Structures are given as structure tokens and as C-alpha cells.
Chain A
Amino acid sequence: MSDLTYLSLKDVTLAYGKSVAVDRLNLDITRGELIALLGPSGCGKTTTMRAITGLMRPAAGRITLDGADITYLPANKRQVGLVFQSYALFPHLNVFENVAFGLRLKKLGGKALETKVDGGLDLVGLSHLADRKPAELSGGQQQRVALARSLVMDPKVLLLDEPLSNLDARLRLEMRTELQRVQRESGVTMVFVTHDQSEALALADRIVVMKDGYIEQLGTPEDVYDRPSTRFVADFVGFENIFPMENGKLKTADGEVPLSPGTPVDGTVKGLAWRPSKVALGTGPFSGIVKGSSFAGHAREYLLDSALGPIKAEQPVPHDAYDIGDRIAFDLAPDHAARLTRME
């Protein structure tokens, strides 16, 4: 834990009865950071959020926030905000009262309350809908109310569970920018959950990639996108050619294949992965027969059958197309590979 750590999860284990949903999770977050929890459905993202809010008690481990141990602090004392995936607005209260709910519990009233709620509604651009009931709002508007309701509490950390997944594609992009703006303006430390890698890459300062209840990789969007460190992450961000390494050689269906010359690969590397766009076509020590070819706008994609197994390759578009059945040479340069330290 560094001096800058604001929210910290230390060996946090979370279980539903006997089944462990999150296993010894470690995560340090700096003040003002925007963190994305990225991973497929069921990997423990919501569960982790619930533990940070206090809705769920860890089976083991510690959670600290702003220098205080909050592991056993009840949810209503934590000053952690959560925007639910389903928004969880109060159906019987109008927009104003929804946003005012937590403030009233803080015994805020009169002018002070009004100013605060108006400020919150302003921030999300909903001042004109203060009298509406949640049922009279669109999904995007409900989302904004939920956001304002959490923000006016000045939480130390604001958690958002799949904030964009219930919105249609156009609104999703709009809300993305909106979230970024709100985070910039309020400076609040934010953790949001998503199963969409493009969302995580576009928004987050750092990404936590999760799988089956543990962290696969933690890093900047560039780290995750360009330098995935495990097979799972590589696959998740589009490295479609993945090979295990053995004795410094690629292990393929046809036995071990020596690497083409390039940067030496050290012993901790258990596998190499290439994006289709990093497979050099036309020259190289390997060859394959074109089995499939499809146009993808910016590029043409090929499926090759080679001694290494099936290879996915891509060529930028102003380029002579290969035909199905052609035998073409290709190269997998170690320089362009992601080095994977875990292959399971």
C-alpha cells in the first residue's frame, strides 16, 4: 500500500454461503482515480462492489478507506455511494425527493437542502424534471437521477454497477462522456463495473480485469490493450493468435516450433499472443493456406491453415487480396507479441 492509497482491499474474500465468489482480492486505489472493473458476467464484479459499500461482509480480508478500517463498518455509515445497475430509484418519490433522500437523513432541510439537490440535478442536467416520478422517466434519465442521488451525498468513493449496460447504443456513448465530465467536475474517486472492454478502455485511468473471482490483470488501458499478461486478458482484448511456450519455442499442434529471430523471450513467459493485425503476411518462415477471407471495412481478414494451427491475420485495405486456397508466407515476430505469464 503506497502513501497515495485511498481505498484499499487487502486479501478480501467474499462468499455466498460456502461458495466463494471473490478470492483474496487485492486492490489499491488512489484518490480521484477512475477505475474500471472489467470482466465477463459472473466474475464477481457486483460482489466486490457490495463489499465496498458494506452490503456484504467479507469472509476474510480488510478494507480501508481514507485511512480508516471500514471492514466492519455498516453500510449506512461508510460514505460510499453506489449507483445500482437497475438504478433502484424510489418509485413513490419524485426526482427531487429521490435526490433529497440521503440529505434529509443527514438532517439537512430548507434552503440548504434545496440548493444541494438543485446543484445535483444541475450537474446531471435534469433540473427541469424535478417533479416527475421515476416511472415517467426514460432509462437514461433514471440513470442520471441515480447518479445525482449518490453525488449529492459527497461520497468518498462512488461505485457504479454497469452504469451503461441498460442504455441503448447512442445513449451509452452520451452517458460515457457525461460520466467523464461529472467525474472531472466533482473530482470524486470512481469505480465502475463493465463487461464491455471498449467502455473500460475509453473511460478508466486504470482497469482491473477480473475472472472467476480474482484479478487477472491490473493496469492502464494501454497496458491492458497492448500488453495483456494472461491468456484470458489477451483473448478478451482481441489477441486471437495465442500459443503456449515451451523451452523457448512455440508449442503447436505439430510440435515445438522455433521462434523467428527477435527480442529474446525470458523464462517467465508462458505464452505469446498476436493480434491479427500483427501477423505479417507475404514474408516469413511460416506458411499457411487461405481458408477464409472477409472484408471488415478498414481491413481484410484472413483465416489461415498452418502448421502452427489456425491463424487469424489482417491486412490494411488498399492491398491485393489473397484468394481462398492460396499458400502464403507469414511471420509471427516476437517483437509484436504480448508476453503472457499465465496460460490457464
Chain B
Amino acid sequence: MTGRLLSYVTLTLVLAFLLGPFLIIVAAALSAGETLAFPPQGLSLKWVFKVFEIESFRNSFALSMFLAVFGTLAALILGVPVAYAASRYKLPFGETLRTIVSAPIIVPGIIVGLALLRYLVIPLDVGIGLALFIAHTALILPYAVRVVSASLENLRSDIEEAAVILGSSRAGAFFRVVLPNIRNGILAAFILGFVTSFNQVPVSLFLSGPGVRTLPIDMIWYMEITYDPSVAALAALLAFLSIAIVFLAERFLGFSRYV
């Protein structure tokens, strides 16, 4: 009996910790007051509309979108061949390769960001935008490799040989029978990469310059200057966007199989 009670209490606490902040943010976003506060002072949608009028949010949203889409694409262009090679050939340095590829998730983001700033941006005079692109690509790469590898694992390699015997070239076999069968894995990797990039804070924190900031960093900046509920409104909008993406992905891809 006490065991049961205990598990209910634990479950409730876990849910409260997971959902609590989200509910508080949503409530704060709907405030009619002038400052970020909980409980909200009255209810209104005015801060939600305000979000769309703030120019720096619009710019940083565009940058974050660009990084999430193109960083993920770049990571997939690099990651799919790596995953394919690792699954089909006994690579002499296979294990080393896997370690190198996963390094960006193991090394704390703050260190990656600092390293890129100190050894790429400053000495080589690489633009912040390019540095951000490189950083995001590198951060997404491990996820891309891992998710695509998982779906390659379920695909027998003899179908490629079957395609070759039926007249296809080796490369043709990859495009005709491998790619279509790992399509869902690639889409899942894209979504995971997109969300990872979009929510990335520690690396992007170091890689920001005048007018060049990703959305999360811009939100921190904004809050340091203006303490109104528009940040909460934006956070709530982003949360709903993420939920919608993951919901659709689960619905159409069975996303949870891949991550």
C-alpha cells in the first residue's frame, strides 16, 4: 500500500517538474500586465501578438531557421555516407570514426563554443554566421549518424547485391534500394537535428555578434534589457511548435523508434 502511494507521489512530482515550467510560461505569456510575472496579472493575447513585431526576434528567428534547416541538411549529407560506410564495410578505424563523430555530443557545448571562438573565429577571422553554421552542423552530425545507422541496421545488405545482379550499378543500387528504405530514418534524423539546432544555447552563446544571434540567445539578450512577458509568449509559441513537430513525426514516422 505504502509502495503504491510512494509511486503515485513520485509520478506526480515527475509530472510537476516536467510540465510545471511549461504551464507557468504559458500562463505568464497570457498576462495582461507589463512585466514577466506569475501568476499573470489578467489575461490577454497582446504579448503573443507583440512577439511578431519585435524586429530582432524576426531576424534571429530567420537565422535560427536557416541554421536548423541547412545545418541539418549539411549534417545529413556528411552523416548518411558515414553511417552507410560504417554499416556496410569493416572500416579499419570504424571505432575511432564513431568516437570522432560522437565527440560533439560528449564534449560540453560551452567548451565547443569557446574553442570555435578562440581557434576559428578570432585567429582566422571566420564570420560569425559561418562559424555558427559549422558549429551546428557538427553538433547535429552525431544524431544524424546515429539515427541513420539505426535504420540501416534493419536493412539487409543483400538487397543491394540483388539489385546489382539485376543490372544496376553499385551507386544505382544505393539510390534505388537503400535510400528509399531508410527514408523514414533520414526524416527522423532531420527532425531531431532541426529541434537540436533550434534549441541550441551553449555553443551559440559564444558565437554571437552585432545583429547575428540565434533565437534562444536573442531571447536572453532581450530579457536582460526588457522584462516584459513577450519572451514568455515567444517561449510558449516555440514550445507549441516543437510539440506539433514531434506529434506529427510520431504520427507519420513512428518517430520514437528512431531516437
Contact = CB atoms under 8 A, between A and B. Distances in A.
B159 A75 contact: no
Contact of A90 (B162, B165, B169, B172): B162
B169 A88 contact: no
B164 interface: yes
A101 B180 contact: no
B156 A88 contact: yes
Interface residues of A, number: 23
Interface string A51-62: 001110000000
Interface in A89-108: 89-92, 101-102, 105-106
Contacts of A81: 165
B219 interface: no
A101 B163 contact: yes
Contacts of B163: 90, 101
A53 B166 CA distance: 10
A174 to B, nearest CB: 24
A106 B167 contact: yes
Nearest to B179: A92
Contact of B165 (A75, A86, A89, A106): A75
B181 A55 contact: no
A136 to B, nearest CB: 16
B158 A84 contact: yes
A86 B168 contact: no
Contacts of A75: 161, 164-165
B165 A82 contact: yes
A164 interface: no
Contacts of A80: 165
Contacts of A101: 163, 166, 176
B161 A88 contact: yes
A169 B37 CA distance: 74
A92 B168 CA distance: 17
B177 interface: yes
Contacts of A211: none
A278 interface: no
Contacts of B177: 90, 92
A76 interface: yes
A149 interface: yes
A55 B164 contact: yes
A106 B181 CA distance: 23
B167 A88 contact: no
B155 to A, nearest CB: 8
A110 B156 CA distance: 31
A116 to B, nearest CB: 13
A88 B158 contact: yes
A153 B165 CA distance: 10
B158 A102 contact: no
A10 B185 CA distance: 45
B167 A92 contact: no
Nearest to A75: B164
Nearest to A153: B166
Nearest to B154: A91
Interface of B: 155-156, 158-159, 161-169, 172, 176-177, 180-181
24 contacts: A53-B165, A54-B165, A55-B161, A76-B165, A76-B166, A76-B167, A77-B167, A80-B165, A82-B162, A82-B165, A86-B158, A88-B156, A88-B159, A88-B161, A89-B159, A90-B163, A90-B181, A91-B155, A91-B181, A101-B176, A102-B167, A105-B166, A105-B168, A153-B166
